[in-house]
Chains A and B, each alone.
Chain A
Amino acid sequence: MSGVRVLVGTRKGAFTLTSDGRRDDWTVDGPHFGGWEIYHLTGSPADPDRLYASQSSGWFGQLIQRSDDGGKSWNPVGNDFAYAGDVGEHLWYDGTPRPWEFKRIWHLEPSRDDPDTVYAGAEDAALYVSTDGGQKWTERTALRTHPTGGAWQPGAGGMCLHTIILDPAHRDRIYVAISAAGAFRSDDAGASWLPINKGLRSGEIPDQDSEVGHCVHHITQHPSRPDTLFMQKHWDVMRSDDAGATWREVSGNLPSDFGFPIAVHAHEPETVYVVPIKSDSEHYPPEGKLRVYRSRTGGEEWEPLTAGLPQSHCYVNVLRDAMAVDTLDPCGIYFGTSGGQVYRSADGGDTWAPIVRDLPAVLSVEVQVLP
């Protein structure tokens, strides 16, 4: 029977949660890197034993850790994230120019077919790639130096590049999303970039048709429908069926269309999951009820999934990288909360149970299916 490994990044370390394919009984391992913030912990699709972790602290900066044995042991690799060439300036919160300044890596995205190739998304926004297992990092400068770059401003969490999608159908196509610049697509492996924000509506900016400035929280894609993208924006759940050229809102009957994560069912490309959050000033679920919402129609029509989730006095948040799906049948859904719970559903979201309840605040959740 297949096994499952859930990779959890938290404010105070990394944890791995393992189970067999039934996903009922779990073994918890960790903390690794205790006391450090693990913004992202993820595995290579090409080699499940190859893991990468983004480890950082306000005191000691950024490290990247690599495991070649599925998380049993770890070694630090390269952490020299230099902005190549002219560093340039973007806009600060008050509208004044400010030089790009590296702060941390938010997201690591390993190649689909090469364990040694991995992309990294930085704050302040930049895209890096390593082709030697994380030892050396090279910036894909065309993104940061895009003509709109001088007009990018940070969101409340910083000007972070938090989403990287390596398109499964078009080898050189990459999608990224930046708070609060928006979404971008490259069709030439990062040599040039196109803002793809047409149709987004953001009350936080004066020009609704602005090419950039939209606070995209997360984007996801089903590998069988590479031109269809689902987006959780600051407000609004959005959908594109033309590789991001245009977007339309599919928030429908959600109780709130603010939120952070968004995920697609592994076997049903029109089945989408979000976790509504009351508002940008109250980062907790509406009515104190933790509900995952599922749409089986690609958006617009949503149903609350509540079985096994707290339905009173629950005021946790679920961050953008803290939801993942496995590829078993039935599809497993996982998410982690700011309260340290990691929940799992082994039946596509119908029922839920906590795997662990008392971890540090969860920053990221990924899942691997093991042979």
Chain B
Amino acid sequence: MIRVVLPAHLKNLAQVTGEVRLDVIGPVATQRLVLDTLEARYPMLLGTIRDRQSGRRRAFVRFYACEEDLSNDPPDTPLPDEVVGGREPFIILGAMAGG
């Protein structure tokens, strides 16, 4: 079970409160697999985290876990054991910017 923290706008869009808990099915839990699983459960999030065409992280979205910025990790990099074990959340957030 992987815990995912969404930014407020995406919580509202997905109509969830608190953390999202995902059972990720696959040999190795990666950023890509977590996001695929998240979007499969909440299809309204398609395109809001990753570009619909390129599949790349949107420029103003960041991924944090275990006090590390994982945003620029290759999407198939295994996630930290603490995230895979559910001891730490995988945090998706909007970059700090004006407006």
Instruction: Show the binding face of A for B, using Cβ within 8 Å.
Output: 35-36, 57-63, 76, 79-82, 102
Contacts and interface: CB of A to CB of B under 8 A. Distances in A.
Given A60-B13, A61-B48, 9 more contacts: A59-B95, A63-B13, A63-B47, A76-B44, A80-B46, A80-B47, A80-B52, A81-B52, A102-B53
Contacts of A102: 53
A79 B9 contact: no
A39 to B, nearest CB: 15
Contacts of A36: 9
A80 B58 CA distance: 15
A137 to B, nearest CB: 11
A36 B99 CA distance: 10
A60 B52 contact: no
Most chain A beta-carbon neighbours within 10 Å: one of B10, B13, B94? B13
Contacts of A82: 52-53
Given A63-B13, A76-B13, A76-B44, A58 B52 contact: no
Contacts of B46: 79-80
Contact of B48 (A35, A60, A80, A81): A60
A102 B52 CA distance: 10
A120 to B, nearest CB: 14
Contacts of B49: 60
Contacts of A60: 9-10, 13, 48-49, 58, 61, 94
A144 to B, nearest CB: 15
A59 B52 contact: no
A79 B53 CA distance: 11
A252 B63 CA distance: 57
A57 to B, nearest CB: 7
Contact of A61 (B7, B47, B97): B47
Contacts of B94: 59-60
Contact of A57 (B9, B51, B53): B9
